Amino acid sequence: MQKTNVHAPEGQPCIFITREFDLPVALLFKAHAQAQLLAQWMGTNVIKLENKKHGSFQFETEHNGNVVFSAHGTIHDVVENKKIVRTFEMHNSDVGVQLEYLDFEELGKEKSKLSIQINFKSMEHRAAQLKMPFAYGLNSAHQRLQEIGNQLK
Amino acid sequence: MIVRRDVFQALADPTRRAILLLLATQAMTAGAIASNFDSARPTISKHLQILNECGLLAQDQKGREIYYQTSAEKMKEVADFLEPFRQMWDNRFNKLEALMKQPKNK
C-alpha cells in the first residue's frame, strides 16, 4: 500500500499530494512549524522560518561548501493544526513561484492526514517541477525511462 | 516484512525492460514470455515477480493461465515523472514520521 499519493490532473496546472501519518495532528503540524524539525526531515538548512501571517521562510542546502539548493517563500496564512498557505520558489529552476495549500486533518488520536495542493503558473511549470527529483541523481533512471517511453509511443 | 520494490531499480535491468516492451501491446502468459528469452524460466518468473511488485504489470487470470500485461496507468505515472516525485515526498514524509515519533520531539 502506498502511503503517499500524488495526483496531477490532466490539463490543470496543479498537483495534489496526500499522506496519512501515524501521528497526532499536533505533531504533524509541529514538524512543519519548527525550523529545527523541518530542517531534519526536508534535508535542508532552514535559514529563516516565520510561521505566521505575512511571515517568510528561506531554505538552503550546501554540499562541499557550495549552495546546491535554495528556496524561499512567504506565508500567507497559518491556523495551528489546521492549515498553512504559502508561496514557494526554488532559485535557479524553471518551476517558478508556486502557491501551496497545506491542510492538516485529525483522523484519530494517533492518526492524521496532510493534503497539499500546489498551484503552478502553467502546465510547463508543473512539468518542470515533476522532473526535479532527477536533478538529485536519478539521471540514469530518467534516460532508461525516456528510452522505454519513446518506444511505447 | 513487505519490501516495496523501487520502480527505478526494476527498470534498471535490460531483461525487465524488454519484458515491458513485449507486454506493452499484448497480454501473455509467463511461458509465452519466457519463450522470447534465452534465460531459464525461473529467471523470467523472478523478473515478472519484481515487475509485478512495483505495480508495472497487470494480471488477468483466464482459466488456469495467468496473462500478464503492462499496466498502462503505472507506466504513464512513471513516464510523466509522477513516480519519482511521489517517491521523493514519500521519503521525506517517512523521515518526518520517524522523527516525530522520537520522544524528545513530542
For residue A124, the tally of other CB atoms under 10 A from its CB is 13
Assess contact for B49 and B34: CB atoms under 8 A: no
Specify whether the CB–CB gap between A104 and A29 falls below 8 A.
Answer: yes
pLDDT in tens, A2-47: 789 999 988 899 999 999 999 999 999 999 999 999 999 988 899 9
Q: Give, in degrees to the nearest 5, the angle at Cα B8 between B6 and B53.
A: 40
Query: Other C-beta atoms within 10 Å of B87: how many?
Result: 19
* Residue A150, phi then psi, degrees to nearest 5: -60, -40
Tell me which chain A residues have a C-beta less than 8 angstroms from the C-beta of B81: 127, 130-131, 133-134
**A13 or A135, greater pLDDT:** A13
Where do the structural domains in chain A lie, given as residue ranges?
4-152
Chain A residues with beta carbon closer than 8 angstroms to that of B92: 41-43
ipTM of the complex: 0.83
User: Is any Cβ of chain B less than 8 angstroms from the Cβ of A22?
Assistant: yes
| Other C-beta atoms lying within 10 Å of the C-beta of residue A40 | 18
- Which amino acid, residue A37? L
A36 touches chain B (CB under 8 A): no
For residue B60, give the C-alpha cell: 488477468
- Residue B3's pLDDT band (cuts 50, 70, 90): very low
Superfamily for domain range A4-152: START domain (3.30.530.20)
Residue A151 pLDDT more than 70? no
Q: Are B81 and A134 in contact (CB under 8 A)?
A: yes
Burial bucket for residue A113 (CB in 10 Å: 0-12, 13-18, 19+): middle
The reply to whether residue A148 touches residue B92, judged by beta carbons under 8 angstroms, is: no
Residue A107 in contact with partner chain B when CB distance is under 8 A = no
**B7-105 is a CATH 1.10.510.10 domain:** no
All cell numbers assigned to A122: 502553467
Q: What is the pTM of this model?
A: 0.72
Provide the percentage of residues in chain B whose pLDDT is more than 90: 48
Beta bridge partners of A19: A4, A114
pLDDT exceeds cutoff 70 at A125:
yes
- pLDDT-derived band at A109, boundaries 50, 70, 90: very high
* A65–B contact, CB cutoff 8 A: no
* DSSP per-residue string spanning A49-118: E--STTEEEEEEEEETTEEEEEEEEEEEEEETTTEEEEEEEETTSSS-EEEEEEEEEEEETTEEEEEEEE
Among partner residues B85, B96, B101, which is closest to A130 by beta-carbon distance?
B85
The 8-class DSSP code of residue A120 comes to -
